[in-house]
Amino acid sequence: MTPAAHALAAIEVLDEIAARPRPAAEALKDWGRSHRFAGSGDRARIASLVYDALRARASLAWRMGDDSGRALTLGALVFTRGAAPDALSVAFAESAHAPAPLTEGERSAIAGASLDGAPAHVRGDYPEWLDAPLARVFGEDRAAEGAALAQRAPLDLRVNLLKGDRAKAERALSHLKPAPTPLSPWGLRVPLSDDGRGPPVQAEPAFLKGLVEVQDEGSQLAALIAAAGPGLQVVDLCAGAGGKTLALAAAMGNRGQLYAYDADIRRLAPLQQRAERAGVRNLQTRAPKGEADVLADLAGRADLVLVDAPCTGTGTWRRNPDAKWRMRPAALELRNAEQDEVLERAAGLVKPGGRLVYVTCSLLAEENEDRVAAFRARHPEFAPVPAVEAAVGAGAAPLAAHATASGAELLLIPRRDGTDGFFVATLRRA
């Protein structure tokens, strides 16, 4: 397929998403099923263009004066990828399977495009109803923070200390030109192609042998701050597929006991295979069994309970750009209830003197500081560990510079840190 054909496919997918709202991944998969001639490389390029358009949907529509799939695709090609309108028209005219050449109206919109006068939610590319919650956290910088969340995400790898160190992984992946991540001592960052695609690292021997895992630097830092050392009793209460579980296991050096639990047994399914590949030997998985409390035997025994709480995922919009446009106010209320529930469960597992580490990939105070405050009001036996103390205790003193205004928690943000958005609060039981 030609680049012009990729553009035509992106228009079709974006129009389909607008007509029948659903995750972009599903729409792209359906398009691939009905266009079997498209190879894997073609599908990847189409997906990359669709996601570029969705990341900046509001600002592209404002500039183009239209929010159709065609307008968003042309906007992404011109404003995100730097294509010249004349070159696009020539390429479209030369291909039998391509969009129509640019109209005079489209050329005029591109020539006069500006975000002057656009409201913050347009400049920041987020839903209008989220303007007030983001203003609460970032004030006048909310549009700039939103714009950072509308950029492409990097491809970060975590080096598995059970299989080697960062130098070994750099050598194994030297052909991909990885560089150490700025903040995480475990991380490597692999350059993306010009159209935003990463290399197939999951086919690399270093990945297949468990030396590296794909994990954003912010997620690595959340696991680092948890400070899961050798010999501890550790519970990962919302383990999911196990990204942070494996990071905790590596930090423990296979000494002590690590328990991984998730309320959704389907999410846990990949963890066992991933743990075997990573060389993890101190892990037990606990899955729901009817009405039985499968964690009852751990009550009051854990040195550390990590709560990687279900959240709206506002910090991961770079990777899931369509999610922000499907998000509704009711989802925030639902997540708050789930967060309170999982914190209640975690409280009963922490032993006296033990720690509870609350993590979200959200930037909203409603999911972060508000939930911690509500929890402490119910459980005064838990006291906050200041961010500087938590950072020093994890052997990562420089992370104290990323503390929230109160100094009690850590907040990682794309605009400043180049990571996904993550909130980390550490609480110690008296």
- Residues marked as catalytic: 361
The whole-angstrom separation of Cα 342 and Cα 360 is 12
Looking at residue 345, its amino acid is R
Dig out the tokens for 19 from the structure: 């007509």
Phi, psi of 218 (to 5 degrees): -65, -40
Check the annotation: does 308 bind a ligand: yes
In 3-state terms, what secondary structure has residue 187?
Answer: strand
The whole-angstrom separation of Cα 305 and Cα 237 is 7
State how far the alpha carbon of 185 is from the alpha carbons of 164, 251, 322, in Å: 13, 12, 31
The whole-angstrom separation of Cα 232 and Cα 397 is 22
Give the chain's largest Cα–Cα span: 72
Contact between 235 and 299 under an 8 Å Cβ cutoff? The reply is no
The whole-angstrom separation of Cα 396 and Cα 185 is 9
The whole-angstrom separation of Cα 56 and Cα 421 is 18
The whole-angstrom separation of Cα 311 and Cα 297 is 28
Burial class of residue 10, CB neighbours in 10 A (0-12, 13-18, 19+): buried
The whole-angstrom separation of Cα 214 and Cα 186 is 11
**Displacement of CA 359 from its chain's centroid (Å):** 13
Helix, strand, coil in percent for the chain, rounding step 5: 50, 15, 35
Q: Which residues are annotated as a binding site for S-adenosyl-L-methionine?
A: 262, 308
